[in-house]
Structure 1
Amino acid sequence: RRGNSPVKESGHVLILGWSSKAVEVISLLAQRHRRPRVVILGPRDVSDMQESLRSSGAYGLGAKIVLRSGSPANHHELERVACADARSVMVVSTPLDGGDADIEAVKTLLALASFPWKGQRPKVACEIASARGIDVARAASHGAVPIVSSGEVVSRILFQASRQSGIAAIYDEIFSFTGAGIHIRKVPRCAGLRFGDIEYAFPRAVLMGISTAAKRADGSERYDFLLAPERSRAIAADEWLIFLAHTDAITDDLDRPVFRSTVAMPKAYLLLPTDGSSGGNGEPASTVFTSEISRAEKYLPPPRERILVLGWNDNIHDLLAEHDACVGSQTEITVVSAFDEGAARAQLAQRGAPKRLKTAFVQGDARSRTGIKSLAPQEYDCIVVLADASHRSPDPDAATVMSLVMVRDALRGRQTRPRLVAEILDPLNAGVVSGLEIDDLVISPRVVSQQLVQISQQAMLADIYRELLSSGGVEIYLKPASRYVVPGRSCSFNDLVYSAQRLREVALGVRIARDRAKPGGGLQLNPPKDSRWDFADGDMVVVLAEELYDRRA
């Protein structure tokens, strides 16, 4: 009961460190496994951890939870929680009063690197709070442990949500264990076939990309991957396929005569296209399927947007940096917090202020009606409400709820309103804000815990997730259905796959506007290839693409 005795478990999941993410990790494991066994070693009193788990409902999730109090950076403590017998190990960043939350995580990685393992080391994944700590964490683990930066993940999702409505729900499904997720499989019969052809070979899965594994000099594995490759790219015999699917049991139609080797195998550079062809040049998108209603409208003018950010926390630095790198002078951002302009710019300068982004900083309180109305929120294209730390509220989520209520009140009765993005820290508050007309809700501990659990079981996913969330690479977008098929014509998912290929994109699913009020918000990821729709205004296609806008001068 006091947490002093050795743990007599094997094959358990071991959490090293303590934060609110522990509850989310337990919840995700309970979704994936029947009665999972979870051992937590944290630098907190067992009674305090028990109370946190009890109040959050963790004990009702069906998991067996064993708590031990101690330092995860101590070899003796690691032996006490049967670290060597664990199935997987997750290191979580532990908040310290007035200190760096990543210090304990880095010390734990050093302890794990020097731990006398009896046999094969269990799979390990680590969370680092700040993106600044990623390089230190990688060095501490000799590059052998995949790292999730919670600040980087949350800020990048907030950034993408501020650009396009509905993106947070897509990532929530892909990162979770329910719905469509990323699966990696080797399919030997695809060797020699073109990527653009075999996109049609999997009736219940979307082919997203290809991957290879190689050995580093120290013997550890390195994973290279390519998302949304050229449609003419041939699959090599030693390559793996990256899918978006609802299950590991991915079936194929490769027995059909139409699937045959039509191109020579590449002789070198396995992750490069075999020729210089590209989409949108009039060539057939595939030799397997042809669409009669395909459209491929490539150009979208980049909009000039004004964004209002209410609140300030550590994510503001990465959020502004993402806007600065990706959209730059096309966007104006006003940040409202407890800091005046001088103090706000001084804090940003410590980590590098935006160079191209137009920014303004206002000292104010978004929780008051007067404060909100003085900002003229109706004049903005998007409003982002952060879990504010600048006013030092004991309950940041309460401040977020109050700000959202004031924003809704200020916009009441208007025919058009800005997109609304909100960040909360406690998943239990999701129901509280559900009626406040939020377009994208980001629950910070949940999205970070989802990634941590996933990569603790499959390390390759860490780099794929990072690529999807990085600006400037291959990302997920929602684009108007009218770009892909002739309006007024019934279309199948294969028609969308065909049109996306012509644009060097990969179709992942659709979002139907008339179903936005239904569970799931009208989102359909990885629909069967024979699914059909009659698209209307507001319907969107979810795609993997290099960028949202064609930035021609």
Structure 2
Amino acid sequence: MANRDGKGGRGLGARLRYEFDKSMAAGPIALIGWLAVLSIILIVIAGAVITLLGITPEGSGPLDFGEAVWESLMRTLDAGTMGADAGWAFRWVMLLVTLGGIFVVATLIGVLSSGLEGKLDELRKGRSIVLEKDHTIILNWSASIFDIIAELTIANQSRRRPRIVIMADRDKVEMEDEIAQKVPNLRNTRIICRSGDPTDLGDLAITSPQTSRSIIVVSPEAEDPDSRVIKTVLALIHDPDRRAEKYQIAAEIRDGKNAELAQVVGGNELQLVLADDLIARIVVHSSRQSGLSAVYSELLDFDGSEIYTIEQKAIEGSSFGDAMMAYDSSTLIGVTDAEGKVWLNPPMETAIRPGMKAILIAEDDSTIEVTASPLNVDHTAIALYRRQEQTAERTLLLGWNRRAPIIAFELSRYVAPGSMLTIAADTPELQADVSTLMISGSNLQVEYGIVDTSSRAALEGLDIPSYDHVLVLGYSDHMDPQATDTRTLVTLLHLRKIAESAGAHINVVSEMIDVRNRELAEVTRADDFVVSNKLVSLMLAQASENENIGAIFGDLLDEQGSEILMRKAEAYLELGQPMTFYTVTEACRRRGEVALGYVRKRPGMELDARKMGGVVVNPRKSETLTYEAGDKIIVLARE
């Protein structure tokens, strides 16, 4: 059948209605436009009627068209204006105009209200583009994000107008409220939240990665989080509209098996933080050296001394050993070559060539300077070399989670022959997990038992005082963080009572999931607490600021690299006499080691506001102290 207008339409009326519908779909602006047209028509018609029919208010002369239109306009905008009108003909015309005006104004108010509500809903969705420069972007959402923000606000204090942009698949207002609740002190940093999928190129563009200073990709609270992290990195790196300059990306990967794929995707623009490996290695190192977790926390957070990689023209041409002595308020721990490769504690005779950068521990990059003052080294206070022989160790592991196999493997790389690891936990998969443990070499033997680690009687049956080290892990694979830490606290309290009953000191290192529970855990008097989420957050924050931090900590925590050790002061020094830290540095330099600090536990140390337990990293070398039995020197050594 042919169309009635012969042009493929359905008549003029239908086409006009279609055009009207299209204009209405344009939104509030179109609605306001139609109301304006309607108002003009109403006012013009009323003005024309008054002029043509000669209708005038009583006691007034004839109105021209302009005056009639003005009178109509006033009554359209304000219904009360017609109250003073006189003459019934004029009143009837103005009544009709006023009623039309009421309809127009009421509709206009409704349109404006609806438009504003829609705009607020749009703003709540967080879909507007971020127009910032030199900002830090955090992608995805997890419990680690609050510690990351807290650390970045400290690092940003010296910057002008610092911004942190967060994008996650969550409601924008909910994110802002939660951040305001858990990170109340943002200092001079402003937080900007956006809702979206970080794996989507269109959503990523909202955060303006092309103008960012650094990007942090946290492991999301979702199934298969590593896949989402890798896909996010892929979207950043291979975005067709990406900038030409390289990004500085720090990404969290939970399973080390996915690290190789992530590195292939990210290339030299990506620093990986292997969360489980990082925590497991620090647990192992801390278990063998009480107080070591405080050293790692000091190097990782921004409140105190941290690691900087910076060009230092003043030491070019010097040997590494001589350059170590050139700083009073900073500690030189290594160098990077022209290609950016990290060398921690290189041989003392290593020449520092142009193009190399110094790796230093300092309170702030502004405090790094070569000191011209003469060295104050007391050679008579340096003791003869006393080598400490390694002996077999017995370690007890209480509790179980996905990091336990990594801990067992790391432990097997360090212990002496004849060492024993006893595993006691009550998870359903314990037997299967233990049967698949990977152990390096034959130095470590493993035994296990199904034990309720929250039972005092069960723990006493393990003869805990006979162990050299006790590691307490949370059941985080089966419980939420608070329930996990609660059970860990119960175990720690039992261990404290067992130690008191036996009149012995038990070297206990515990993993805590939530940093807020650390203060509660201190009543148990464990030697060290490794706060899992906190360490990962610190590492991600540092990696976003220092492109070499991943390689530096990879070297520190690897058996083949340089290692932070805490050794008795008498192994380096003659005790009981005052000396500067220059002397300590020289004593370590003679053994091919770097002196990082010391541990001096004195009365009142428990009042330390930062809870360092007597650990001091990067002291001034000109500071004079007297070391006594029980004091330790913190060194960076290759052993």
* TM beyond 0.5: yes
- Decide which of 328, 352, 367 is 1:235's aligned counterpart: 352
Residues 36-185 of structure 1 correspond to what in structure 2 (within 5 A)?
36-46=162-172, 49-50=175-176, 52-53=178-179, 57-62=182-187, 63-96=189-222, 99-115=223-239, 116-118=241-243, 120-185=245-310
Secondary structure of the residue that 1:485 maps to in structure 2?
coil
- Decide which of 306, 312, 321 is 1:196's aligned counterpart: 321
Is the contact made by 1:10 and 1:87 (CA closer than 8 Å) also made in structure 2? no
Structure 2 partner of 1:371: 458
Structure 2 partner of 1:545: 637
Equivalent position amino acid for 2:579 in 1: C
Q: How far apart, CA to CA, are the structure 1 residues paired with 2:384 and 2:360?
A: 24
TM-score (norm 2): 0.74
Secondary structure of the residue that 2:152 maps to in structure 1?
helix
Structure 2 partner of 1:299: 387
Q: How far apart, CA to CA, are the structure 2 residues paired with 1:526 and 1:307?
A: 31
The Cα shift of 1:255 comes to: 8.5
- Are 2:384 and 1:252 aligned? no
- Decide which of 443, 447, 456 is 1:360's aligned counterpart: 447
Is the contact made by 2:485 and 2:512 (CA closer than 8 Å) also made in structure 1? yes
Is the contact made by 2:138 and 2:165 (CA closer than 8 Å) also made in structure 1? yes
- Are 2:575 and 1:457 aligned? no
Is the contact made by 2:214 and 2:544 (CA closer than 8 Å) also made in structure 1? yes
Instruction: Please list the CA deviations of residues 266-291 of structure 1 after superposition, one character each: whole Å capped at 9, or x if unmatched.
Output: xxxxxxxxxxxxxxxxxxxxxx9561
Q: How far apart, CA to CA, are the structure 1 residues paired with 2:212 and 2:352?
A: 37
Residues 259-270 of structure 1 correspond to what in structure 2 (within 5 A)?
none
Secondary structure of the residue that 2:341 maps to in structure 1?
strand
Secondary structure of the residue that 2:620 maps to in structure 1?
coil
The Cα shift of 1:339 comes to: 3.7
Equivalent position amino acid for 1:490 in 2: P
The Cα shift of 1:298 comes to: 4.1
- Decide which of 103, 113, 132 is 1:10's aligned counterpart: 132
Q: How far apart, CA to CA, are the structure 1 residues paired with 2:446 and 2:171?
A: 44
- Are 2:385 and 1:385 aligned? no
Instruction: Please list the CA deviations of residues 472-495 of structure 1 after superposition, one character each: whole Å capped at 9, or x if unmatched.
Output: 321111100101111222222111
Secondary structure of the residue that 2:542 maps to in structure 1?
helix
Structure 1 partner of 2:96: none
Equivalent position amino acid for 1:113 in 2: I
Q: How far apart, CA to CA, are the structure 1 residues paired with 2:177 and 2:472?
A: 29
CA RMSD of aligned residues (A): 2.3
Structure 2 partner of 1:276: none
Bigger Rg, structure 1 or 2? 2
Structure 2 partner of 1:281: none
Q: How far apart, CA to CA, are the structure 2 residues paired with 1:193 and 1:156?
A: 34
Secondary structure of the residue that 1:412 maps to in structure 2?
helix
Q: How far apart, CA to CA, are the structure 1 residues paired with 2:533 and 2:526?
A: 18
Q: How far apart, CA to CA, are the structure 2 residues paired with 1:376 and 1:352?
A: 26
Equivalent position amino acid for 2:438 in 1: G
The Cα shift of 1:38 comes to: 2.2
Secondary structure of the residue that 1:299 maps to in structure 2?
coil
Give the number of the structure whose residues are more often helix, by fraction: 2
Structure 1 partner of 2:117: none
Long gaps (5+) in structure 1 = 215-222, 259-287, 548-553
Structure 2 partner of 1:406: 494
Q: How far apart, CA to CA, are the structure 2 residues paired with 1:172 and 1:312?
A: 24
The Cα shift of 1:193 comes to: 1.7
Structure 2 partner of 1:272: none
Equivalent position amino acid for 1:429 in 2: N
Instruction: Please list the CA deviations of residues 291-348 of structure 1 after superposition, one character each: whole Å capped at 9, or x if unmatched.
Output: 12211424111122211111111111111111112226343111122247xx435325
- Decide which of 508, 523, 546 is 2:615's aligned counterpart: 523
- Decide which of 12, 20, 39 is 2:143's aligned counterpart: 20
Q: How far apart, CA to CA, are the structure 2 residues paired with 1:27 and 1:393?
A: 23
Is the contact made by 2:562 and 2:636 (CA closer than 8 Å) also made in structure 1? yes
- Decide which of 609, 626, 634 is 1:534's aligned counterpart: 626
Distance 1:118 1:181, change over 3 A: closer
Instruction: Please list the CA deviations of residues 163-207 of structure 1 after superposition, one character each: whole Å capped at 9, or x if unmatched.
Output: 110100000001111222112222223222222222221111112
Residues 420-459 of structure 1 correspond to what in structure 2 (within 5 A)?
420-459=508-547
Distance 1:353 1:202, change over 3 A: closer
Q: How far apart, CA to CA, are the structure 2 residues paired with 1:289 and 1:431?
A: 40
- Are 2:430 and 1:344 aligned? yes
Equivalent position amino acid for 2:472 in 1: V
User: After alignment, is 66-75 or 247-256 more displaced?
Assistant: 247-256
Instruction: Please list the CA deviations of residues 97-141 of structure 1 after superposition, one character each: whole Å capped at 9, or x if unmatched.
Output: xx3221110111111111122454542111111222211110121
Instruction: Please list the CA deviations of residues 348-375 of structure 1 after superposition, one character each: whole Å capped at 9, or x if unmatched.
Output: 5556355522111111221122222222
Q: How far apart, CA to CA, are the structure 1 residues paired with 2:259 and 2:525?
A: 35
The Cα shift of 1:47 comes to: 6.0
Q: How far apart, CA to CA, are the structure 1 residues paired with 2:360 and 2:126?
A: 45
Long gaps (5+) in structure 2 = 1-122
Secondary structure of the residue that 2:504 maps to in structure 1?
coil
The Cα shift of 1:161 comes to: 0.6
Structure 2 partner of 1:224: 341
Is the contact made by 1:320 and 1:354 (CA closer than 8 Å) also made in structure 2? no
Q: How far apart, CA to CA, are the structure 2 residues paired with 1:240 and 1:467?
A: 17
Is the contact made by 2:126 and 2:193 (CA closer than 8 Å) also made in structure 1? no
- Are 2:388 and 1:332 aligned? no
Secondary structure of the residue that 1:514 maps to in structure 2?
coil
Instruction: Please list the CA deviations of residues 515-552 of structure 1 after superposition, one character each: whole Å capped at 9, or x if unmatched.
Output: 542413212211111212221111000100112xxxxx
The Cα shift of 1:53 comes to: 3.4
Residues 461-500 of structure 1 correspond to what in structure 2 (within 5 A)?
461-500=549-588
Distance 1:349 1:80, change over 3 A: farther
The Cα shift of 1:155 comes to: 0.5
Q: How far apart, CA to CA, are the structure 2 residues paired with 1:293 and 1:60?
A: 46
Instruction: Please list the CA deviations of residues 449-496 of structure 1 after superposition, one character each: whole Å capped at 9, or x if unmatched.
Output: 111111112211210111111123211111001011112222221111
Q: How far apart, CA to CA, are the structure 2 residues paired with 1:123 and 1:22?
A: 18
Is the contact made by 1:84 and 1:121 (CA closer than 8 Å) also made in structure 2? no
Structure 2 partner of 1:308: 396
